[in-house]
Structure 1
């Protein structure tokens, strides 16, 4: 498992890299926002001119025409600006999802061992969606609101400083409460997103094992587990909702109080002749232009805190080093005469796993040979293949491929030399063709069909009129266990790697298909190196060398007949499998 780092607390500067590629559009949006803000602030002045003109009996046609033009132009600009904002927000979400998905696929394998798939899915889906509000209802509402507030405040101060003081006193209490509450939203929003991730994980767990759950009659118990996660997500969401619910009433009370105070005091000042009716109407309109942006800015601030909470979870993943982050430049091997693979005093333990899985393991795989790893379940055989692939780093010792320490090889260069079939033989959802092209994206149809024939799976491409485009189902559920395994092997053979690593390649095959596959593997291993993990000794008795592993240690090596004489464990395994009497 990768070393855990202290997670930094992200703030507004963390958003800048996400917004940088949209800066041209955002500059246009910002400019349009300023134009609409100025146009809005001019309107109360024009309305005062119209009212004063009516009182004085002067012409008001020009002012009315300009006022109408400003209203129509402002509406058009607002619509265009909002479209640009929505497009930018969608682009931001798209970019973030691509970046996050790319990084997730490059995390060290140890990270997948300790993190729940559903939570990672939630970060790609739900958390990135919350970033949309940062752009559409966050940053620019705050910026535009600030311009409106400053402009309206200046205009109100010029009209009547006394009324401005009255309005400010009415707004102060409500704003203080709203800002204080908004600051707490971020932490609770992070908790709510985390609970949502846990709920997604619970659902993913249940759906991925749907057949097992159904066969076990455990539907109700699993539904209760998902229900508890959903309830926790609900409770966390309600905590955020309750806080947000305080912001609205506080803002409304402050706004209504300010308007009532201004109307009362302003009416008295009009009656006293201190200001005109036009001044009072203009002041009230400016107050409206002050209060409305303040409310929008408070809501935007809350949205921003929610978005920053989501960004915190996204950055937590992006801050994790990728698997290739510490790769060294490629080092040249010692020459073609070197063994294909060498384990030299290798010890390995999973982080937090206690006793090492492998202890002081040493063996050599000559180039072009066929080597089998056998032993009881849990002996560490599959771990040997995982270490060759550099899914994990050895605790101590050295693994060499072609004479080069694999730590001196970039992982992609190393894995191009290796063809690997996992024990579970995973099949990707999609078509037969999609799965085959995974390792050989440039292969033509004839080559794909030839690979299927090599593993006795050619009939699969002629089973339906869809041919290679037949669907295999989620996880290959529309295929039998043996078909999934053979498909995984065909996919690996297409990679044409010089070293093949096969983990239990015949575990799900019947005798007929096992024999056919053994022939295919034998043909594929011509001029290649083959390392096979096997429980069925019948599949590896003709190997050039068999490595016997027990409790993480190599206890014997040699060909089949020699091991029958020299290794009690191997002889016991062979006897149980009826290879010897």
Structure 2
């Protein structure tokens, strides 16, 4: 009776499975590495194709400076042979004057060349960052609304801010590494080979293990860099959101839960950054150890030959000088792939945004919209934000030209969606929307939206003065036009009470103004546009009773001779509309004038009106 011995030889299935998995994984890893290298090369080629031709002269001067840096570095190693032999061995008095002057002039040339390339590359880099910031802003303004629905704006801004310098770093690293470090290394190795080929071979033994280690680390760094960028963007996004919603944060005493959430994000970001630091700096000890062994071996062997065989000390000193000077460019080149991986991950994430195709792109032969009357028609329109979840269901209606059409109904019924579709923020799933009989998908978005004045439910004000914000409605508007629009919107009263009147700078989204004041500025911006189509999405929702009455009068004047579509919950604001449509569950269930709809006691409009009238009466009684 004995115990059966089990080891790896008695378990062939387990061993075979592991070996088979390893064999299957190796080709996949090699294929992935080849694909990654191909992506990097294509990305690098694209960056140079987009930017290189713009800076040919500047890059040529910078490269010439870098070549001078490399050449003077190698020359310093070369001249050490004569310094030792002529001055310290032979005692040449003339060399005491000439050689120090030569060394001094070499350092002068090297310093000026370093300064020149540094300034030129910095200017090129700053210009590249500015150009990509412009391109990114232009791209963001081209992208459809659904992109911003899917991507949180705060995180998007943080991500762009982190990544935009990746292209500059990639180009500058490539130029400096090739023109300075690689040339310096080549020149210095040339000096070493000329002085002593055998010792050069000993010194160069350090290169293969370092190169192998760098390639291994670069793969890990690529994944870690993308992770830390994503986490940092969430950290910055959370901070920006907290700043924007500070009043809500304090009102609901949300400080502690938000601190805990941010603490989790910050800790994760710190851990990811520490991992990157660990991977990046892992090259340093290995490089130092391997290079130290090579240099120590060279010094020991060259010293032995000088003592035993009487080799020239000048030649040995020149060789060791070249070897020591070659260490810095060799070390920078060793870290180049790691640095490029980080920079190119940033650059690739910028191109991911630049390469997005807008979903609501203009049709190939889209033409400018020319409005003759301004009639808007929905014909069998079905639309949903998500597949299989329609918000509008086969709706059809006509908003007559130069008339007011009001949309009412419960929240979530699809009223604001209709406003968004008219502006082509989204494309319909089926059916068509026309303006004067022209499908809006067949005209340019710019010309369509240029014919529309829009007042959103939640007013948004931009950085700048009150005058600047109103002028955004029509950039060529005069000061008189702006002030007239403000008066029509009943906004001039509070504007003139501001410290600088119309030239008062606004805080972030007009934080120093009340909701009603922000809404009136939004209305003034729409009025100054003087467009034939006016869209009002709960335009008076943020106003008190007095302001609502004043603004309603202004809007009634603005609606004259314009095709107006009004979304409203307060029925008192739309009783004079030429047409009222009741939207319920994505369908138009009733339509007519106020008087016609009120006379339908079982209709939705009549119930809404009765409910609001009763509530208003109760409020009056309670005030009395």
2:115 maps to 79
1:12 alignment counterpart? 44
Contact 1:324 1:410 in 2 (8 A): no
The RMSD of aligned alpha carbons is 2.2
User: In the alignment, is the contact (CA less than 8 A) between 2:214 and 2:337 conserved in 1?
Assistant: no
1:85–1:135 contact (8 Å) kept in structure 2: no
Question: Which of residues 128, 142, 157 in structure 2 aligns to 1:121?
Answer: 157
State the SS of the aligned residue for 1:532: strand
Does the residue aligned with 1:541 lie in a helix, a strand or coil? coil
Q: Which residue of 1 aligns with 2:541?
A: 507
Q: Verify: 1:192 aligned to 2:224, yes or no.
A: no
Give unpaired runs (5+ residues) of structure 1: 1-6
CA gap 1:259/1:373 in 2 versus in 1, 3 angstroms: same
Q: 1:33 aligns with which of 47, 66, 89?
A: 66
Matched residue count = 573
TM-score after normalising by structure 2: 0.87
Match in the other structure for 1:219: 255
| Bigger Cα displacement from structure 2, 192-201 vs 125-134 | 125-134
In structure 2, C-alpha distance between the alignment counterparts of 1:334 and 1:178, rounded to whole Å: 62
Q: Tell me the distance in 2 between the aligned counterparts of 1:323 and 1:114.
A: 13
CA distance in 1 between partners of 2:535 and 2:428 (Å): 18
Deviations 1:82-108 (A, max 9, x none): 122222222222222222122122211
> Contact 1:545–1:557 at 8 Å: present in 2 too?
yes
1:456 corresponds to: 490
Give, in whole Å, the separation in 2 of the partners of 1:298 and 1:401. 63
In structure 2, the residue matched to 1:3 is none
Q: What residue is the counterpart of 2:332 in the other structure?
A: 296
Please give the secondary structure, in 2, of the residue aligned with 1:184.
helix
Distance (Å, rounded) in 2 between the aligned partners of 1:80 and 1:479: 51
Asked if 1:245 corresponds to 2:292, the answer is no
Q: Tell me the residue number matched to 1:570.
A: 605
Bigger mean CA offset, 479-488 vs 120-129: 120-129
Shift of 1:393: 0.4
Do structure 1's residue 401 and structure 2's residue 432 form an aligned pair?
no
Q: Which region of structure 1 is more displaced relative to structure 2, 423-432 or 491-500? A: 423-432
Give the Cα–Cα distance (whole angstroms) in 1 for the partners of residues 584 and 98 of structure 2.
96
Alpha carbons of 1:183 and 1:149: their partners in 2 closer, same or farther (altered >3 Å)?
A: farther
The residue that corresponds to 2:270 in the other structure is 234
Map of 2:82 onto structure 1: 49
Give the Cα–Cα distance (whole angstroms) in 1 for the partners of residues 393 and 475 of structure 2.
39
SS in 2 for 1:144: helix
Aligned-pair CA distance for 1:176: 3.0
2:184 maps to 1:151: no
Contact 2:238–2:262 at 8 Å: present in 1 too? yes
Checking the alignment, whether the CA contact within 8 Å between 2:406 and 2:579 is kept in structure 1 is yes
The equivalent residue for 1:554 is 588
Determine if the alignment matches structure 1 residue 22 to structure 2 residue 55: yes
TM alignment of 1:342-357, pairs within 5 A: 342-352=377-387, 354-357=388-391
Where do 5+ consecutive residues of structure 2 fail to align?
1-35, 618-624
**CA 1:307/1:228 → structure 2, altered by over 3 Å: closer, same or farther?**
same
Distance 1:177 1:328, change over 3 A: closer
Deviation at residue 324 of structure 1 after TM alignment:
6.4
Deviations 1:452-490 (A, max 9, x none): 110111112210340101233211221111111111111
Q: CA deviation at 1:357?
A: 0.4
- Give the Cα–Cα distance (whole angstroms) in 1 for the partners of residues 222 and 56 of structure 2: 26
Superposed CA deviations along residues 537-575 of structure 1, whole A, max 9, x for unmatched, are 111111110111100001111111111234611111111
Secondary structure class of the residue paired with 1:347:
strand
CA deviations over 1:93-128 (Å, ceiling 9, x no partner): 222222212212221100000101122112331212
Answer whether contact 1:374 1:547 (CA < 8 A) is retained.
yes
* Structure 1 residues 142 and 247, CA gap change in structure 2 (3 angstroms): farther
SS at match of 1:288: helix
Structure 2 CA distance for partners of 1:449 and 1:326, relative to 1, 3 Å? closer
Any conservation in 2 of the 1:139–1:304 contact (CA below 8 Å)?
Answer: no
Q: How does 1:363-378 map to 2 (within 5 A)?
A: 363-378=397-412
For 1:232 and 1:18, locate their aligned partners in 2 and report how far apart those are by CA, in whole Å.
Answer: 36
**1:204 positional shift:** 2.2
Aligned mates of 1:298, 1:118 — CA distance in 2:
37
* Correspondence for 1:469: 503
Pairs within 5 Å for 1:304-323: 304-322=340-358
Q: CA deviation at 1:137?
A: 4.6
Q: Take 1:57 and 1:428, find their aligned partners in 2: how far apart are those partners?
A: 77
CA separation in 2, counterparts of 1:212 and 1:142?
54
Greater shift after overlay, 220-229 or 557-566? 557-566
Runs in 1 of length 4+ with deviation above 6 angstroms?
332-335
Maintained 8 Å contact 2:362/2:443: no
Instruction: For 2:306 and 2:368, locate their aligned partners in 1 and report how far apart those are by CA, in whole Å.
Output: 91
Partners of 2:574 and 2:130 in 1: CA distance: 49
1:48-197 correspondence runs (5 A): 48-54=81-87, 55-58=89-92, 59-60=94-95, 61-197=97-233
CA–CA separation in structure 1 for the residues paired with 2:259 and 2:147? 28
Aligned to 1:4: none
1:265 and 2:301 aligned: yes
CA distance in 1 between counterparts of 2:481 and 2:218 reads: 61
TM-score under structure 1 normalisation?
Answer: 0.94
Contact 2:143 2:357 in 1 (8 A): yes
Superposed CA deviations along residues 306-337 of structure 1, whole A, max 9, x for unmatched, are 11011121111111124664444344779836
